[in-house]
């Protein structure tokens, strides 16, 4: 908890008066198909995350995992945190939401991601390699995303609490460059067996097509079935 608090304070203190500030609300639902597969649907609302306009992201994914053979399963009740290696495939549609309430399709995106976890004595490290296959206004491009995450699962007042911090680097083929970096620190709290919430601070640094910094407060509400 102390490490997460320090990380959040560092992100907050790094903000400058000229930086953009946003609120990123998000709703997620997970449906367990069997011990090795689940469905994941998500909706998020933001400005500056994927577009200069207000945008609504609607996503559907299939998560697949391999049961450990040479090693025992990790000691966690959470599906994701109980895996050494798993994958995600899915689709996202990004809508631009204009002031009048109309919605135009901004982007169609296919997503393929691979995850690997390494439990250490104090924290658990998770690495993610993801590719976004993007059709923006009919033009195709791809974006490669590398993320490293450190977290720790613990009990607090009879609830599971997971503070975390991560860093992500994004390569965009439209510019043939590393176009964005994203720092995020937060905490996920298990409220009930079927409901969790996550609070985080994010600092997004865009390098292409122009330099821009965005600070965001994110809230994610999660349901599990």
DSSP-derived pairing of the beta strands 103-119 and 85-97: antiparallel
Residues 81, 84: Cα–Cα separation, whole Å: 8
Residues 108, 101: Cα–Cα separation, whole Å: 20
Residues 55, 97: Cα–Cα separation, whole Å: 5
Q: Are 79 and 62 in contact (CB under 8 A)?
A: no
Q: Are 184 and 200 in contact (CB under 8 A)?
A: yes
**DSSP class of 158:** T
pLDDT in tens, the chain (225 residues): 544 445 555 555 555 555 789 999 999 999 999 989 999 999 999 887 777 778 899 999 999 998 765 566 677 778 998 899 999 999 999 998 865 555 677 899 999 999 999 999 889 999 999 999 999 988 999 999 999 999 999 988 889 999 999 999 999 999 999 999 999 999 999 999 999 999 999 999 999 989 999 999 999 999 999
Q: Which helix (H) or strand (E) holds 34?
A: strand 20-34
Residues 216, 123: Cα–Cα separation, whole Å: 25
Q: What is the CATH number of the domain that holds 182?
A: 2.40.160
Residues 214, 206: Cα–Cα separation, whole Å: 8
Measure the CA dihedral 156/199/18/208, to 10°. Answer: 120
Task: Please give the angle made by the CA atoms of 201, 206 and 211, to the nearest 5 degrees.
Answer: 125
Residue 153 structural domain: 2-224
Query: Based on the structure, what is the number of domains in the chain?
Result: 1
DSSP reduced 3-state for 193: coil
pLDDT in tens, 65-90: 987 655 666 777 789 988 999 999 99
Burial, 86: exposed, middle or buried (Cβ in 10 Å; 0-12, 13-18, 19+)? Answer: buried
Residues 151, 224: Cα–Cα separation, whole Å: 21
């Amino acid at each position: 908890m102390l490490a997460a608090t320090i990380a959040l304070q560092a992100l907050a203190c790094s903000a400058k008066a000229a930086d953009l500030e946003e609120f990123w609300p998000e709703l997620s639902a997970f449906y367990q198909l069997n011990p090795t597969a689940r469905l994941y649907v998500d909706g998020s609302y933001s400005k500056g995350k994927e577009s200069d306009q207000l945008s609504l992201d609607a996503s559907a994914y299939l998560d697949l995992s391999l049961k450990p053979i040479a090693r025992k399963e990790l000691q966690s009740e959470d599906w994701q945190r109980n895996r050494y290696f798993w994958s995600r495939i899915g689709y996202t549609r990004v809508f631009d939401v204009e002031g009048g309430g109309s919605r135009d399709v901004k982007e169609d995106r296919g997503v393929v991601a691979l995850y690997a976890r390494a439990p250490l004595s104090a924290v658990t490290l998770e690495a993610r390699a993801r590719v976004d296959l993007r059709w923006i206004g009919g033009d195709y491009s791809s974006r490669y995303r590398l993320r490293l995450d450190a977290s720790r699962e613990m009990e607090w007042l009879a609830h599971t609490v997971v503070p975390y911090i991560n860093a992500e680097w994004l390569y965009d083929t439209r510019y043939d460059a590393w176009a964005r970096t994203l720092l995020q620190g937060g905490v996920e709290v298990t409220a009930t067996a079927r409901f969790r919430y996550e609070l985080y601070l994010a600092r997004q640094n865009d390098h292409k097509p122009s330099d821009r910094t965005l600070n965001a407060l994110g809230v994610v509400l999660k349901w599990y079935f």
